[in-house]
Structure 1
Amino acid sequence: MELLERLFMGSPALWGGGVAHSVLILALVVALGIMLGKIRVAGVSLGVTGILFVGIAFGWYGMNVDGHLLHFLKEFGLILFVYSIGLQVGPGFFSSFRKGGVTLNKVAVLAVLLGVGTTVALYCLTGLPMTTLVGVMSGAVTNTPGLGAAQQAFSDLHAGAEAPDIATGYAVAYPLGVVGAILTLAALRYLLRVDTQREEREAGSGTDALKDLTTRRISVEVCNPAIEGMSIAQLRELALREFVISRICRAGGEPELAGADTKLHGGDRVLVVAAPRDIEALVALMGREAADTPLMRDRKMISRRILITKSELNGKQLADLKVRSTCGVTITRINRAGIDLVAAGSLQLQIGDRVTVVGPELSVAHAERLFGNSLRRLDHPNLIPIFIGIALGVVLGSISFWIPGVPQPVKLGLAGGPLVVAILIGRYGPHYKLVTYTTMSANLMLREVGIALFLAGVGLGAGEDFIPTLLAGGYVWIAYGAAITVVPLLLAGLWGRLRYKLNYYTLIGVLSGASTNPPALAYCSEQTQTDAPSVGYATVYPLSMFLRVLAAQLLILMFG
């Protein structure tokens, strides 16, 4: 027993100063926390947040670690976590503000503002410290970066002091934050009297805001005398819309690839790829919609998605490659960060993009050699951009600036600074030939290691005061967290449906993204065969994450 006590409670004689003991405790907290997070109750699990609860248990029983080491690992883990998130969302961050994206982001911003407003209202009504309520707010929307940002802001404001009630509020509110969000999304289905079959059809055809964020293929018969003999390039100038004509079938002929110089004649059938919002206008301009059977059954042409892995293509415009003349294929669309983009000539390519090419099999093979399509090239991590970006993020996060009405200068801190830099590098790095792509597995590993270290540190630091706080009335915070979870989602959901006529499956994806709630997204995806929830989630997640981090800091600086 004495050996076990020295092993877990620490002994300078046994552990040579306590570093090895600290590493042992951290490793056990992370391992046991992940095991706990995998346990499902009624289909819901804690996920990685199980690490926080195991850390609290270890801290309560006195199995703590060296304070300086704990502080470093917690902060460094937070940096790794938010930076990897920024790299992931960066490529799609600004593209999400296109017309349809603006609509979805308006709903997400409303949900964030309602959550902040509910938090401030509870602060005024209950008299609880803002540190507690910011922790509850972060847990209610399952936003761990917000937790880190709040702790960092409090530490900067009070010369390095800690606020354990932030972590306690987060831990208390988190479980119901997951369950409450899912129940609220289900309740919206009945409040809005949703016809699921109709919503499923409309989600698949992209009839709401998704019409600006996805692509659609349609076969059109040319029968407008005004465009007789006009080339596709001339038609694009006339239409003032981005579209791709990948194949053309002359009257009585076989399907063939279409290029910018291909001329259109009456009776031709063309396969058009465009954003759903542009389809109706393009059909009206060219003629009428036609059955696409002759085009789809052509055995000489294939369609294949190719991964861009050659670094020399990073940042190049699609038109510069001249793939139609060099490879004999047509690029119809490009998938980036889960969103399909129309293959416009001005679109800049990025490492990790997936391009859809159409052409004969040999030509497609040639295109594969041009683009790379080698997962092995992407397996090697690009560490230089990662650590340069982290360094720049720390510098940016340390710069103070004033916001009117806020009594203290604001810093982005170790949560906001690296997040902003990662988003900017992920978006604009390719313009300067900087390869910022990391594979999903590498990004996930970096993110999970970071969040594991951070949550373990937060739990161990808050464990000593957790039970006394809970017994002294902290259980009431669960109700406050439920209000912060449910009220914004209900109101924003009703607004999005009644004001913007959003499809139900798009709407619940947007609300899941506004709550930065992956378990809620998993629930949404199970409700439909379409990808509408995923597209809605991916569209609003970057801005929502940024606003959640900034809101947590501002609340601490203004009221903490």
Structure 2
Amino acid sequence: MGVLRDHPELALFLCLAAGYLVGKLRVGPITLGGICGTLIVSLLLGTQKIAVADDVKTVFFALFIFALGYMAGPQFFANFNRRGLTFGVLSLIEMVSVICIAYGLAKAFDLDIGTASGILAGAATESAVVGTATEAIGKLSGLTPDQVKEYQGHVATAYTVCYLFGLITIVLFTSQILPLLMQINLADASRELWQKMRGDTPSLESDEREPLPAMVGRTFLVTLADGRTVGDLEAGLGGRVTVEGIRRGSATVHPAPDVELLLSDLVMVVGRRANTIEAGREIGPETPAIPGLDAPLASSQVALTEEAADGGSIDDLQKRHPEFADAGVYVTDVLRGEQRMPASPETELRQGDVLTLVGSRAGLGKVAAKIGAVVKNDTTDFVYLGFGIAAGALLGQVVVHIGDIPLSLGTGGGCLVSGLVFGWFRSRRQTFGAFPPQAAATIKDLGLAVFIACTGLASGPQAGPLLRQYGALLPLAGIGMVLIPAAFSLLVGLKILKIDKPVLIGAIAGQQCSTPAITSITQVAQSSVPLLGYTVTYALSNFLLPLTGPVLVGILGS
């Protein structure tokens, strides 16, 4: 242990490695996850009084919270519409409920500020609250340095216990108990809702893809379309396929709209699989691929920035822009934040969605210029990243007094707000400020893991006494603070907001930002339908819940 005390960087990375190993342990559908595992290991090592400089914790938390906001920004602002505000009611229920419950517990059981804040963070399964609450405690006036250190340690300990029980509760409640209360079979209800919304397009889980490619190219021998022009053929098929090549004898003919097809021409058609099969009925029998007609198609990721496209479907987008049909360009994938959405014709689009377009290289450029901007995510723009975090740190220094209660976002809350704004601004024109998703996810996960490890190491000495003092209260608080807002949201969602049941289950998981819960839900549902509610409340709660830490600390500290 002497080596770890002399070289705290060894202890820090040992906490990460061992913590993520502990986090992989699985009991049924439940895994602790790397963050909770890291906190458990760091609390144990922290009993040996291993100290890491506070600046390390502050820097890594700023990186984490900015990356979190950056990734959520486009969808957060995109949800300021009628549908988003409807689901936002559930996020507000979560925010108000956890603050009120934590405040009530603090008054009823005479809890200190740190313990109450840790209960809130753990029961809400929102790790960011640990950082915002810890920082807010450090800024309270009237506390000695020893009291600050003690209360900050209580945040981590209470969080660990409440997180464990809160996680188990939200996973089991949403995936197992809610379907029983609603008297539905989640898989059947999700399939029925999908068919109602999307027609015959099959529903897939988030990690699945169609067994047959959605978009294909096929070659046909002209026997039925003799004498028809290319433009007439494409129009007759509703513009859903495009003729990409014509072979006439040994010559290749450019498929201009006025070119007339002749008997025995070989025609290559590109489009969605069902539509290309339909095209064969208009043209003639299918043939093997012909050299010269199997030119590769290009693909490009384009950020949707067109205001008119927000809230419309993929089919609406293609009808509004004839360039899709003229250039033979198709939407094959939709990425919304970290979630992949189905790319069916009826899929509802949002500004900031990243569409994968497939077609001829020249056609891709024409379409991209009309609907948005080609995503440039090859390297991180550290100028944009640095200014964003600096702006958040400055914003966090602003203190607002409401009566006798001083409220401040702190570095964490400030960086969250700046991350949301910078991420949203980047999504509007994705030609600057690149922060590749994998890089952002790595920074987010590493920042939180290092912050949690530092917090746990510093809090280890206070863990034992706190657990002996409040042992039974912490698990019960973790369970109650999940069930109360979830049950209230269930009633409001069904009776007032009239949200479809599978979507509501996903939204309740999202209001608590619980990735394990939505993973379990989609497994039970055998469908990605619950994600339609999860993505909205997840984006909103990712902003609202971290702010509950400073609010609770400000109220109790007054």
Instruction: Give aligned pairs, total.
Output: 461
RMSD of aligned residue pairs (Cα, Å):
4.0
Aligned to 1:97, the other structure's residue is in SS state coil
Specify whether residues 207 and 487 from structure 1 end up closer, same or farther in structure 2 by C-alpha distance, changes over 3 A only: farther
Cα distance, 1:471 vs. partner? 1.6
CA gap 1:252/1:446 in 2 versus in 1, 3 angstroms: closer
Deviations 1:176-211 (A, max 9, x none): 111010122121211121243552234314659xxx
What CA distance in whole angstroms lies between the structure 1 residues aligned with 2:99 and 2:166? 15
CA distance, structure 2, for counterparts of residue 474 and residue 254 of structure 1: 67
> Residues 19-34 of structure 1: matches in 2 within 5 Å?
21-34=7-20
Structure 1 residues 272-421: aligned runs within 5 Å: 297-298=278-279, 306-308=299-301, 324=323, 328-329=327-328, 335-337=335-337, 338=339, 353-356=354-357, 378-403=377-402, 405=403, 407-421=404-418
1:152 is matched with 135
**1:193 corresponds to which residue?**
183
| Alignment match, 1:7 | 3
Rounded to whole Å, the distance in 2 between the matches of 1:508 and 1:540 is 11
TM-score of the aligned structures, taking structure 2 as reference length: 0.73
> 1:38 Cα shift?
1.1
Selected match of 2:42 from 55, 64, 67: 55
Paired residue type of 2:63: L
**Deviates further, 75-84 or 333-342:** 333-342
For the 8 Å contact 2:239–2:325, the answer to whether it is kept is no
What is the CA distance between 1:330 and its match in structure 2? 5.3
Question: Measured at CA, do residues 153 and 341 of structure 1 come closer, stay the same or move farther in structure 2, by a change above 3 Å?
Answer: farther
Contiguous gaps of at least 5 residues in structure 2: 199-231, 244-256, 258-272, 284-293, 310-319
Shift of 1:364: 5.3
- 8 Å Cα contact 2:68-2:444 kept in structure 1: yes
1:512-538 deviations in Å (ceiling 9; x for gaps): 111111111111111223322223222
**Contact 1:96–1:540 under 8 Å retained in 2:** no
Map of 2:106 onto structure 1:
123
1:46 aligns with 2:32: yes
Task: Give the TM-score taking structure 1 as reference length.
Answer: 0.72
Contact 1:308 1:372 in 2 (8 A): no
1:533 aligns with 2:516: no
Q: Distance in 2 between matches of 1:57 and 1:437?
A: 39
Alpha-carbon distance in structure 2 between the residues aligned to 1:410 and 1:184 = 34
d(CA) in 2 for partners of 1:45, 1:433: 36
Quick one: distance in 2 between partners of 1:435 and 1:323? 28
Structure 1 unaligned residues grouped into runs of 5+ = 11-20, 209-246, 263-291
Identify if the C-alpha distance between structure 1 residues 374 and 500 changes in structure 2 by more than 3 Å, giving closer, same or farther: closer
**Match in the other structure for 1:181:** 170
Output the CA distance in 2 between the equivalents of 1:433 and 1:409. 38
Change (3 A) 1:248 1:456: farther
How much has 1:32 moved relative to structure 2?
1.0
One-letter identity of the residue aligned with 1:555: L
Does 1:133 find its partner at 2:116? yes
Matched residues in 2 for 1:141 and 1:553: separation? 15
Q: CA 1:129–1:363 in structure 2 vs 1: closer, same or farther (change >3 Å)?
A: same
- Mean CA deviation greater in 473-482 or 462-471: 473-482
- In structure 2, the partner of 1:546 is 543
In the alignment, which residue of structure 2 is the partner of 1:35?
21
Counterpart of 1:79 (choices 40, 55, 62) is 62
Cα distance in 2 between the residues matched to 1:189 and 1:498: 16
- Cα distance, 1:363 vs. partner? 6.0
Contact 1:87 1:436 in 2 (8 A): no
Asked if 2 retains the 8 angstrom alpha-carbon contact of 1:323 and 1:367, the reply is: no
What percent of counterpart residues are identical? 23
After TM superposition, the runs of 4+ consecutive aligned structure 1 residues lying more than 3 A away are 195-198, 205-208, 247-258, 292-309, 313-319, 329-336, 338-343, 347-350, 361-375, 429-434
- What are the equivalent positions in structure 2 for 1:82-121 lying under 5 Å apart? 82-121=65-104
Deviation at residue 418 of structure 1 after TM alignment:
0.5
Distance in 1 of aligned mates of 2:127 and 2:182:
31
Q: Residue 515 and residue 318 in structure 1: after superposition, are their counterparts in 2 closer, same or farther (change >3 A)? A: closer
Question: Aligned match of 1:519 in 510, 516, 520?
Answer: 516
Superposed counterparts of 1:370-519, under 5 Å: 378-403=377-402, 405=403, 407-429=404-426, 431=428, 435-519=432-516
1:59–1:119: structure 2 CA closer, same or farther, 3 Å change rule?
A: same
TM-fit CA distance, 1:76 = 1.1
User: Residue 543 of structure 1: CA displacement?
Assistant: 1.6
CA deviation vs aligned residue, 1:5-62 (integer Å, no higher than 9, x gap): 432343xxxxxxxxxx011111111111111111112332211221111110001133
Q: Post-superposition shift, 1:368?
A: 9.3
Amino acid at match of 2:435: T
Q: Which AA in structure 1 matches 2:3?
A: L
Change in 2 beyond 3 A, CA 1:76/1:362? closer
Relative to structure 1, the CA distance from residue 324 to residue 388 in structure 2 (aligned partners, 3 Å threshold; closer, same or farther) is same
TM-aligned CA deviation for residue 348 of structure 1:
10
* 1:249-277 deviations in Å (ceiling 9; x for gaps): 7569986669xxx9xxxxxxxxxxxxxxx
Q: CA 1:101/1:341 → structure 2, altered by over 3 Å: closer, same or farther?
A: farther
Moved more, 117-126 or 488-497: 117-126
- Bigger mean CA offset, 534-543 vs 518-527: 534-543
* Paired residue type of 2:354: D
